[in-house]
Structure 1
Amino acid sequence: MTTGLLVLLGVLLLLVVVVFLLRRRFLLSGLGAVTMWFRPENSPRWSVGVAWYGGDALLWYRALSLSVRPQRRLCRAGFRVQSQRSAGRDDLALPGDVVVLECSTAEGPCQLAMEPSTLTGFLSWVESAPPGA
């Protein structure tokens, strides 16, 4: 009986790992999909995830999750980049070469961090919002 239970637990664990890997592959396969770190205002912790930006919103999915729904949806109409800086001493969870953006959104202030190669495309998307948006 215990051998059967161990086999069942092993199969379930393998299934969770496969679903997790397939979800990540699906998220990164989309046009405009990039690795991005997110930190809400007054939070000491950065969360890594995959962001899709296009159309009128940025959809951010937590990397260590099985959810198929985005954890954050930031509308481009209310999105403003206030400043940008290199990762510093307070950003220990981030790789050293990322750029941190201080942003204001309709949901409140937040910080986004991304690799420099991603920054130009992202800022172009933000700045190309329709007039009045």
Structure 2
Amino acid sequence: MKTFSWGRRKPQQGPAQRPVPRREYLPGEREALLIGILLGTDTDVRLDEQYDAASDLAAFPSDAVVAALARTAGDPAQPDETLVDLCAESIAEIWIHRGAVDHDLLARLTPRGRREAERTVAHRAPELLAR
């Protein structure tokens, strides 16, 4: 006859976990990788990776980043509204960091992107929206 132990189970002992070393990036390299992910195609990258890249790019206030974000947020054929929102929000974050809104670029965004960028700036730095 079998007997059962109804007490606590011992935790499984697995292989020792080694910390994974963090990769060091050269200046501009992480920014370029994120732009590549953002502008990738459906066959290259997953949509959730593009979302992450769009959000992460707000930390890189360069003209190249703004151009990549604007390419997505200003594309009327872009089918994913969340991606447009994230790109427009990152553009707004960069404008807030720079202390100035690019009104010409704002006008070139899709209506949805424009609303999201204006909403973000109005919430965090409304004085920047005045021309």
Fold match (TM-score > 0.5): no
Which has a greater percent of strand? 1
**Normalising by the residue count of structure 2, what TM-score does the alignment of the two structures yield?**
0.28
**Normalising by the residue count of structure 1, what TM-score does the alignment of the two structures yield?**
0.28
Which has a greater percent of helix? 2
The structure having more radius of gyration, on CA atoms, is 2
